[in-house]
Amino acid sequence: MSEQTAIVERPRRPFTSLPATEAVSWILLGLGLLAIPWFGSVYAIYMACLIAINVIATVGLNITVGYTGLLSIGHSAFLGVGAYVSALMWLHLGTPLALNIVGGAAAAFAVGCVFGLPALRIKGVYLAIATLAAQYMLYFVFQQWTSVTGGDRGLSLPKIDVFGFGDQGFYYVVAGVAFVTTLASRNFFRTRVGRSFIAVRERDYAAEVLGINVVYTKLVAFGLGAAYAGAAGALLAAFLRIVNPDQFTLAVSVFFLAAVVVGGRATTLGSILGALFMTLMPELLRFLLETAAGPGADMAGLLSPLREIIFGALIICFLIFEPRGLVGLLHRAFGHVEEVEAKAEH
Residue 136 counted as domain residue:
yes
> What is the tens place of the pLDDT at every residue in 188-224?
998 998 999 999 998 888 888 888 888 899 999 999 9
- How far is CA 201 from each of CA 57, 109, 233, rounded to the nearest angstrom? 20, 20, 27
List Cβ<8 Å contacts ≥24 apart for 45-49: 45/167, 45/168, 45/171, 46/167, 47/279, 47/280, 47/283, 48/171, 48/175, 49/170, 49/171, 49/174, 49/175, 49/239
User: pLDDT tier at 312 (50, 70, 90 boundaries)?
Assistant: confident
Close Cβ partners of 104 (under 8 Å, ≥ 6 residues apart): 81, 82, 83, 85, 86, 89, 230, 231, 233, 234, 237
- DSSP, collapsed to helix, strand or coil, labels residue 241 as coil
77 is in which domain, residue-wise? Answer: 19-250
Q: Which is more confident, 291 or 201?
A: 201
Return the amino acid letter for 74: G
Q: CA 216 to CA 219: how far, in whole Å?
A: 5
**Within a domain: residue 297?**
no
Report the C-alpha gap between 255 and 257 in whole angstroms: 6
Q: Over 50: is that where the pLDDT of 10 sits? A: no
Q: Can you tell me the distance from the alpha carbon of 197 to that of 24, in angstroms, rounded to the nearest whole number?
A: 28
Question: In the chain, where does DSSP find H-type helix?
Answer: 19-39, 42-62, 75-93, 97-115, 125-144, 146-149, 166-188, 192-202, 204-209, 214-240, 250-263, 268-293, 299-321, 325-333
Dist CA 346 CA 4 (whole Å): 8
- In a domain, residue 325? The reply is no
The dihedral built from the CA positions of residue 181, 148, 254 and 302, taken in this order, carries a sign that is negative
First to last CA, the chain: 5
Report pLDDT digits (tens) over 41-57. Answer: 888 889 999 999 999 99
Say how far apart CA 275 and CA 281 lie, in whole Å: 10
Residue 8 has pLDDT above 50, yes or no: no
Lowest mean pLDDT among 14-18, 48-52, 58-62, 327-331: 14-18
10 Å Cβ neighbour count for 194? Answer: 18
Please indicate, yes or no, if residue 2 is contained in any of the structural domains.
no
Domain contains 114: yes
How many separate domains does the chain show? 1
**Residue 281 belongs to some domain of the structure:** no
The answer to whether residue 147 is domain-embedded is yes
Closest to 250 in 3D by CA, of 72, 64, 76, 54? 76
> What does the pLDDT look like over 88-123, one tens digit per residue?
999 999 999 999 999 999 999 999 999 888 878 888
Structural domain includes residue 134:
yes
- Residue 11, number of CB atoms within 10 A of its CB: 12
Percent of the chain past pLDDT 90, that is, above it, reads 47
